[in-house]
Amino acid sequence: MLENINLEKKLSREEYKRMLPLLQMRVYELEKACWDQGVPSMIVFEGWNGSGKGAAISALSQRLDPRGFRLHSTQPPRTFEQQHPWFWRFWLKVPSRGEMLIFHHSWYGRMLDERMDLKLSEEEWRRAGRDILDFERMLADDGTSILKFFFHISKKEQKKRLKAMEADPLESWQLRKEDWEHHKKYDEYVDAIEEMFELTDTDFAPWVIVEATSTPYACRKVFETVIASLERRLGANAPPESNEVVHDADLREVMDSLEGNDARDSRSKSQA
């Protein structure tokens, strides 16, 4: 599956900057409508290290009302968490009525990193897949809208990005030794990812593969998919689209960060 994905898809930064305010405003309108209607939602971000998940999450959440959403960055289980069933810590984070949850990594670490690092047996990671299906099906049956994004880049592109992160003092702290070890296992991860898709891609919690070589293209695909999903879930309760957009310093800062510019210098120049 992954070898057939067209990773050459692109979107110019100028075009993305033009459409970003309207996309962000539309997600905000849908967030409010979901809150008013009591519709919970979960948006999961998985993908290769360095594939741009953080940039997409930043753009997606920039205009959201913080009272209506939560962001969880999933880390390896801590000592006390290991004393509970492995899914225990995720059940504690299910959304309230009307709330939107965004996960930067999630329970799928069990079928990927833990499978690779802890050398889980086939029986163990397949059991994890069944646990995940039960979890997502129960939430979906209770009315939760679930979307799962996988950010895909080539092995060559990942190596280039990891090296760039390593050389940047503002980003090098995000790079772990394990990231390089996982990069060396890229082909093994491809097999694990495809098996994960096969077991857990469902109508009620679909996987969306994001072609992430171009960050603007990847972000636009995330926005458009989230918007379409929430509009479909809300149905007749979806609000009409608004063309009124407030341009502020925060929005410009997000745009500058996506371009790889120093936001502080950008603000200084605009004030000069």
Condensed to tens digits (0 to 9), the pLDDT of residues 176-212 reads 888 999 999 999 999 999 999 999 999 999 999 999 9
Across the range 2-10, mean pLDDT stands at: 94
> What pLDDT is stored for residue 242 in this prediction?
75
Rounded to two decimals, the pTM is 0.87
If you write DSSP's letter for every residue of 20-58 in order, what string do you get? HHHHHHHHHHHHHHHHHHT--EEEEEEE-TTSSHHHHHH
User: Does 249 score more than 60 pLDDT?
Assistant: no
Across the range 163-187, mean pLDDT stands at: 91
Across the range 88-103, mean pLDDT stands at: 96
Residue 228 backbone phi and psi in degrees, to 5: -65, -40
> What pLDDT is stored for residue 39 in this prediction?
97
Strands 100-104 and 41-47: parallel
> What pLDDT is stored for residue 244 in this prediction?
60
What are the tens digits of pLDDT across the range 23-48? Answer: 999 999 999 999 999 999 999 999 99
Give the residue among 218, 210, 234, 229 at the shortest CA–CA distance from 34: 234
Q: H/E element holding 183?
A: helix 177-184
Looking at per-residue confidence, does 222 or 254 come out higher? 222
Across the range 98-123, mean pLDDT stands at: 94
pLDDT above 90 coverage of the chain, percent: 79
Is the CB of residue 32 less than 8 Å from the CB of residue 136? no
What are the tens digits of pLDDT across the range 37-81? Answer: 999 999 999 999 999 999 999 999 999 999 999 999 998 888 898
Across the range 100-115, mean pLDDT stands at: 96
Cα(105)–Cα(174) distance, integer angstroms? 14
The residues, any chain, with a CB within 8 Å of residue 221's CB and separated by 6 or more, are 208, 210, 211
Is the CB of residue 56 less than 8 Å from the CB of residue 218? yes
What is the edge-to-edge ordering of all strands in the sheet holding 207-211? 69-73, 100-104, 41-47, 145-152, 207-211
Which structure tokens are listed for 190? 């491809």
Cα(23)–Cα(227) distance, integer angstroms? 8
Q: Strands (DSSP E) along 81-144, which ranges?
A: 100-104
Model confidence band, residue 243 (pLDDT cutoffs 50, 70, 90): low
> What pLDDT is stored for residue 245 in this prediction?
55
Is the CB of residue 218 less than 8 Å from the CB of residue 52? yes
Domains of the chain listed by start with CATH number: 2-271 (3.40.50.300)
The residues, any chain, with a CB within 8 Å of residue 77's CB and separated by 6 or more, are 86, 89
Tokens 């079928």 locate to 111
Amino acid at 234: L
Tokens 């992160």 locate to 165
Collapsing DSSP to helix, strand or coil, 106 comes out as coil
Tokens 């997606």 locate to 60
User: Does 119 score more than 90 pLDDT?
Assistant: no
> What pLDDT is stored for residue 174 in this prediction?
84
End-to-end distance of the chain based on CA atoms, in angstroms?
51
- Residue 199 sits at the vertex; the CA angle it makes with 184 and 10, to the nearest 5 degrees, is 55
> What pLDDT is stored for residue 255 in this prediction?
44
Across the range 86-93, mean pLDDT stands at: 94
> What pLDDT is stored for residue 261 in this prediction?
40
The pLDDT mean for the chain works out to: 90
Please tell me what DSSP assigns to residue 82: G
